[in-house]
Structure formats: C-alpha cells, structure tokens
Amino acid sequence: MVDTTFYHKLMALALNVFDAYSAVLFLPDPDSEDCRVAAHYSLGDDVLADVVISPGMGLAGWIIRNQKPLLVGNFDQKRGFLGYYDQKDEARIRAFMGCPVPQCGGAVCLDSRKTFTFGEKDQKILGQFAEIAAGHVLAERQRADDARDARYYRALTTISGLRRSHPTWPAFQTALLATLSEATGFSACFLAVRDESGQGYYLEGPSRGVFEHPLDAPKKFTMGQGLIGWVFKNNSPAFLGDGETAAAPVPLFGKDVPATEFRSVICLPLAFARRTRAVLVLADERPLGFGRDAKEFARMASEYLVLFLENLHLKSRLSHGAS
C-alpha cells in the first residue's frame, strides 16, 4: 500500500525548495510499466490526480522510458506535453524539470509558470529527492513482502492442522479453500473433480461469482474444454495473469459456458493413483500480477490436499475390499 502521506510531504518540500508551481510523483502500478500519480503538491488545484502515463507518453513518459533526467527551460506545448494537466492549464506552464526514480521506475516532475526557473544544479538536487522516494518505495515493498511471507506461513500452519481439526472431507475442503482464498487474495477458490466415467468433471466448493447466471450453470462439464480441461488432459499447471502471461481472460470451462471473465488464474492438477483426479482452481476478475511466491504457496497447499485425498481414496478401497 502506497504511503501517500510521506510522498505528499516530499512533493510539498520539493515545490518549496525549487519555487515550482507543481510537483508530481509518478510511480509504477504493480507488475506494470504504466505509472500513475502517487502524490502531488501544487499552488493550484489543476493537477489531474488520476492520470496514468505509459513509457514514452509526454515528458514524464520520456523520463520513465529512458530513465534519464530532463530539463526544459522554455516549454513549448507544440513540441511536447506534460500529461497531468488538461490542455488549458498546461498552456500556462513555461518550464519543466524531472528525474527518474532509481531502481523503482517512475519519475519526479516539477513545473513552473515562469521560463528558465530551473537549472542543472537544481536537477542534481531533484535527483536526491528521487532517491529519497526510491528508498521509501523499496522499504514499502520489503514490508509488503515480509507481511505476505508471514501470511503464507500462517496459512500453511493452519492447513497442516486441518486433518486433525476438520477430519471429514466436507469440513476439510471448506476450511482449506477459505484459507487459500484469504491468504492469496483470489476471490474464487474451488475444486474441479473428475467424475466416475472420466469423461467430465463437476465443481466442489464455493463457486459464488464464477458464473454469469449461477442458477443456469451446468452441473457437469466436458473434459478437455477450457483451461481446466487442458489441465486435466495434460496433468500440468496453468497460470494466467502472473506477470509472465497475458492478463486477457481465458475461458475456464470452455467458450460455450457463460462464466465470469477471470484475468488471474492458478490451476493445479491433483494427481494420485496414476491419474489427475481433480484440479485446484484459484481465480479472480482482477489482474493481480501474482508472482512465484503465490505459485509456490498454492503448490504446497495442493500437495497437502493430494495427501488428504489419497488417504481418503485408500480408505475407500480398503472399505470396499473388506465388504
């Protein structure tokens, strides 16, 4: 979570040090090259606070793409644009100065309504402001990583005790899926289970939000269709929206099933007794940009789930053998 108070104070200090009209800090969105306004301070109220700038877009975008400082003493709107004002307010800007935020991406931008307000010495000092912003960004990311690791550790500890606290399959399943959803932030978490014929599968666990029309959703699904079917067929995991694959939605159940468009998906095969018996599915409509840590956590949870299911399978076979 971005510490807007710190960055707001930093921009206020920069504005006063350089006698600028506005000071604007751009920082990248998670797992994206696009940068949005993280904080700004201005003598007016005309800065567009919800602007998102792509690399190369305007002067700030040039800094973000090239990771180099930029100094414009006499700003000509015919040869470039800032992008964080509307056209009328930007026409009054006469000078611009900006520096990249090192190691993090983004840019610190200053502007003025007077020409030649900033010099090369000012630009070097602004670079120090950018370094302060970078240090805070990196510290925030480290705190977020530490909190995530602690959350995953607590979740795995909870999961490891579920066999004792929830010995029956329905109770175990409900508790496990809820723990996975809470730990990872995925809104949907359920199981796709192969049916006895091996030609299709059905869903177990909460499927709220999975289908456009839940009451009309199929009870069984055809094996081999959609992303889940591919995982069953190939006994291989599938990931969508992990920062390495495109976040465009992919049909989970096949094109003919009217389901929610998910942009973040983890599908893990659950295999024992020489075949894929089920698929663990975590899905979310948002592009979460999850990383290797989320994949590894889900994999560890799926391995524990396989042990539980394999134990149930063996108990069932022993029970049938005894009868």
- Residue 318 pLDDT more than 50? no
How far is 231 from 310, CA to CA, in rounded Å? 19
pLDDT digits (tens, 9 = 90+) for 176-219: 999 999 999 999 999 999 988 888 999 998 767 788 777 777 88
Residue 314: what pLDDT? 60
Q: Are 124 and 165 in the same domain?
A: no
Q: Are 39 and 169 in the same domain?
A: no
253 and 201 Cβ atoms separated by less than 8 Å: no
Q: Examine residue 228 and state whether it is found in any structural domain, yes or no.
A: yes
Q: Are 18 and 95 in the same domain?
A: yes
How far is 257 from 260, CA to CA, in rounded Å? 9
pLDDT digits (tens, 9 = 90+) for 283-311: 999 888 788 999 999 999 999 999 888 87
How far is 175 from 169, CA to CA, in rounded Å? 10
- Residue 134 pLDDT more than 60? yes
Residue 2: what pLDDT? 63
Q: Are 81 and 128 in the same domain?
A: yes
Enter the pTM of the model: 0.74
Average pLDDT over residues 142-147: 92
> Hey, which residues does 35 pair with through a beta bridge?
28, 53
Q: Examine residue 305 and state whether it is found in any structural domain, yes or no.
A: yes
Q: Are 111 and 178 in the same domain?
A: no
**Residue 314 CA: distances (Å) to CA of 128, 193, 262, 270, 317:** 64, 17, 35, 15, 5
Q: Examine residue 154 and state whether it is found in any structural domain, yes or no.
A: no
Residue 321: what pLDDT? 46
Find the helix packing angle between 120-160 and 4-18, rounded to 10°: 180
- Which tokens in the block code for residue 237? 């995991």
Q: Are 113 and 201 in the same domain?
A: no
Q: Are 169 and 109 in the same domain?
A: no
Q: Examine residue 191 and state whether it is found in any structural domain, yes or no.
A: yes
Least confident piece of the model among 139-153, 250-264, 305-319: 305-319
Q: Are 303 and 197 in the same domain?
A: yes
Indicate the average pLDDT of the chain: 89
Domain count, the chain: 2
Domain that holds residue 101: 4-141
Half-sphere exposure of 276 (CA within 13 A, CB side): 24
Among 86, 108, 141, residue at a domain's last position = 141
How far is 173 from 130, CA to CA, in rounded Å? 49
How far is 93 from 89, CA to CA, in rounded Å? 7
> Hey, which residues does 25 pair with through a beta bridge?
39, 108
Q: Examine residue 152 and state whether it is found in any structural domain, yes or no.
A: no
Q: Examine residue 167 and state whether it is found in any structural domain, yes or no.
A: yes
Q: Are 175 and 116 in the same domain?
A: no
Write down the number of H helices and E strands in the chain: 8, 12
Q: Are 186 and 314 in the same domain?
A: yes
Q: Are 181 and 264 in the same domain?
A: yes
Residue 244 neighbours by CB under 8 Å, 6+ apart = none
CATH of the domain at 29: 3.30.450.40
The share of the chain scoring above pLDDT 70, in percent, equals: 93
Q: Are 72 and 200 in the same domain?
A: no
Half-sphere exposure of 236 (CA within 13 A, CB side): 7
- Which tokens in the block code for residue 149? 């690791």
25 and 132 Cβ atoms separated by less than 8 Å: no
How far is 107 from 63, CA to CA, in rounded Å? 7
